[in-house]
Amino acid sequence: MDVTNDRLDDQFHDVEGDAEHQLPKMSFLDHLEELRKRLLISFIAIFVAFLVCWNYADRIFAKMQEPLTKYLPPGDKLAYTRLTAPFFMYMKVAFFAGLFVAAPIVLFQLWLFIAPGLYKNERRYAVPFIVFATLFFLGGGYFGFKILLPATCAFFVETGKQFKQMVTIDDYFSFASTIILAAGLVFETPILIFFLARLGIVTPAFLLQKFKYAIVLAFIVAAVVTPTPDMVTQTALALPMILLYLLGILIAYLFGKKHDA
């Protein structure tokens, strides 16, 4: 086959048989330039989402308060100790919400960054990657908000009921946003395993063999990302991580790269 025509075909090299097609190697400076471009577009997307969410920051935070305020005595509210605290807190709320709104674009930029290192047949997973990675991220955030956050708030309010409660808006936002964001990232585990399995890096047998280490790692990660050192919050996050790991084993079995016996 003519070499010139091969290069014109999306800069891919054709190989006989079932060989896969890969882009030419990029230099280190090319990778840096590509990374800069993808980061810039991601930051612009997040900034635009921030501007949109800024108009709804008060309503977003009112919703975020519900897992805590429903356990407080009637009439109790969150407090602030600095005059400027509400303004800056609303800015952080808008930025936090903007991360979820801009997630599809950010994930698309991530895909464009890693795509040059993938084979031609692997790049067809672009749409499934963006769709499912976004759904898992949003689903994880929702799980953190609806399940983890109320459970941890109820535990801490009950633990400190003999004291006068005065939770500041900054403290609560830091606590709630960390749990929600951590849950969103943890829910990306099946997506990560899917691609590792498709690339042949991991197999279902390998993942099952390392299951006991995954349990330990789940609690270590939960201890690192959760905002408090209590075992309740850590366990509440570690258990979904373990279940997602098991889901990843199933995904690897169904969609992983097949090896010849």
**Which tokens go with 150?**
């109320």
What confidence tens digit (pLDDT) does each residue in 104-128 have?
999 888 888 877 766 676 677 777 7
Mean pLDDT for the chain overall: 81
Instruction: Using the predicted structure, report yes or no on whether residue 16 has a pLDDT greater than 50.
Output: no
In the prediction, which pLDDT does 99 show? 93
**237 vs 248: CA distance, rounded Å:** 17
Distances (CA, A) of 111 to 64, 100, 214: 31, 17, 26
Instruction: Using the predicted structure, report yes or no on whether residue 258 has a pLDDT greater than 70.
Output: no
**Which string of DSSP letters, residue by residue, matches 135-164?**
HHHHHHHHHIIIIIHHHHHHHHHHHTTTS-
108-113, Cβ contacts within 8 angstroms, sequence gap of 24 or more: 109/38, 109/39, 109/41, 109/42, 109/45, 110/38, 112/38, 113/34, 113/35, 113/38
Q: Count the alpha carbons within 13 Å of 245 in the hemisphere toward its beta carbon.
A: 21
Q: Count the alpha carbons within 13 Å of 51 in the hemisphere toward its beta carbon.
A: 5
In the prediction, which pLDDT does 9 show? 46
**156 vs 151: CA distance, rounded Å:** 9
More confident residue, 214 or 195: 214
* Average of per-residue pLDDT across 188-206: 83
* Average of per-residue pLDDT across 173-185: 90
In this structure, the chain runs to a length of: 261
Q: What is the pTM of this model?
A: 0.76
* Average of per-residue pLDDT across 177-189: 89
What confidence tens digit (pLDDT) does each residue in 25-62 have?
666 677 788 888 989 999 999 999 999 999 999 999 99
* Average of per-residue pLDDT across 224-253: 80
In the prediction, which pLDDT does 33 show? 83
